[in-house]
Structure 1
Amino acid sequence: MLSAEKELRVALARFAAARIEHDVLPTGITSRALEDATRGLCALTGTRTAEDALHEADTLIARHRARRAGAGRGGALVA
């Protein structure tokens, strides 16, 4: 797994945990944690909203998966 993919997966996990925690019991702390996680995910994906960031993250992970599959078969890596 590439370091960029790992970083993206960590950001997604952080966002998911913050979203769940905030949905279960919203507080100022959970709100700030969700905002921070959203900002981080948006920064990694080059987007401005959580919805766009999640969509782009799915696209990026699919590309990483395709690269690994291509490399595993001795194929050329796709940019």
Structure 2
Amino acid sequence: MLLAHPAVLDDLVDRYETLSLLDPEDPEVRRRTADVSYTLCVATGTRDVDAALIAARLRLPGARPEDDSVLT
């Protein structure tokens, strides 16, 4: 399976979180949320957005204690 670049995943998670702060009754917000949710699922190989968010966050730099890709 191809894996999305962490920068792509970071952008998708940010977009999803931003959309979650907006009015869920707005048709444009619903459409954009559905698009981002679908893309997150495809990018992480999952079938629901909650699992996709977890999978994406685990792939971001610094997500694991042994991850040395982020320097402090």
For normalisation by structure 1, the TM-score amounts to 0.68
Deviation at 1:54, TM superposition (A): 1.1
Question: RMSD across aligned C-alpha pairs, in angstroms?
Answer: 2.3
- Indicate how the Cα distance of structure 1 residues 22 and 49 shifts in structure 2: closer, same or farther if over 3 A, else same: farther
Higher share in helix: 1
Highest RCO, 1 vs 2 (Cα 8 Å, sep ≥ 6): 2
2:13 alignment partner, SS class: helix
Name the residue aligned to 1:33. 32
Runs (4 or more) in structure 1 with deviation over 3 Å come to none
**Identical aligned pairs, as a percentage?**
23
Structure 1: stretches of 5+ with no match in the other structure? 73-79
Name stretches of at least 5 consecutive residues in structure 2 with no aligned partner.
none
Question: What is the one-letter code of the residue matched to 2:6?
Answer: E
Structure 2 residue identity aligned to 1:29:
E
Partner residue of 2:8?
A: 7
Paired with 2:10 and 2:52, the residues of 1 have a C-alpha distance of 12
Max Rg structure: 1
Residues 18, 37 of structure 1: 8 Å contact kept: no
For residue 48 of structure 1, give the secondary structure of its aligned residue in structure 2: coil
Aligned length: 65
- 1:18 deviation in Å? 1.4
Give the superposition deviation at 1:68.
1.5
